[in-house]
Amino acid sequence: MSNLTKLKNAINKNVPSFYVRQEVSLPIFTFDLKHEVSAEAVFNKAVQYQKNIEENNKKMLVKEGYQTPYFMERFLFTELISVIEKKTSLVFNSNYKMNLFWFVFYSNGTSHELHNHLNKNRLEKYPISASYYPKIGSNPSPIVFQTKSVDNEISEISIPVKENMLVLFHSELKHYVPPHSSDEPRVVFSCNLSEK
């Protein structure tokens, strides 16, 4: 079954929070995980993990912030990973496994430039991506997805983020984060998933 067919099936069984149009309309799903995951526990583990990393892995797309290396220490975040895998599997009616995950730490002024989660240099295919927000700070910047009209005009869909929010989207969707405007940190757990 193609990824497009799976997305159509997911739409028939679930109600997307937003749609983004690329070559076809692609859904974006949002969930509140406050009854399933402790945002404070995830945030504290992320901060501890960041302190244990010796080298700063600043990515060109992250301006003035910090992105951890991609890692697979699943045991550190077992609860969160399990919940995200279950939500993704339920929404897309297939078994999904998290392949890569990382954290992005935003300080005041940090932004994330336009990008998607497709990696054409890798052999692996990650059709679904997710962002989870254990800490957002005051007045948090949204996640902004680009969309095209039927006339191919580019516009944007701005999704306000909340603490303990999960956003599921197709990996090819281009998105960015405007500058963070709070002295409180904003932390995002990002990941890519593929079928088992």
Coil vs helix vs strand at 111? strand
- Integer Cα distance of 134 and 163 in angstroms: 5
> What Å distances lie between residue 150 and 24, 75, 116, CA to CA?
10, 45, 21
What was the pLDDT predicted at 123? 46
Superfamily per CATH, domain 3-195: q2cbj1_9rhob like domain (2.60.120.620)
Contact 163, 134 (CB under 8 A): yes
Q: Where are the domains of the chain?
A: 3-195
What was the pLDDT predicted at 72? 54
Closest CA to 127 of 11, 37, 12, 4: 4
- Integer Cα distance of 140 and 182 in angstroms: 7
Digitized pLDDT (tens) for each residue of the chain, 196 residues in all: 555 566 556 555 666 666 665 555 678 999 999 999 999 999 998 888 777 664 554 454 555 565 666 665 667 788 999 999 999 999 988 999 998 888 888 989 989 999 988 766 554 567 899 999 999 999 899 999 998 777 778 889 999 999 999 999 998 899 999 999 999 999 999 999 988 8
Sequence-distant (6+) residues with CB within 8 A of 89 are: 95, 96
What was the pLDDT predicted at 87? 95
What was the pLDDT predicted at 159? 95
Look at the pTM and tell me if it is higher than 0.85.
no
84-122 burial, b at 16+ Cβ within 10 Å, e below that, comes to bbebbbebbebebebebbbbbbbeeebbbeeebbbeeee
Q: Which residue has the tokens 């010796």?
A: 54
What was the pLDDT predicted at 86? 95
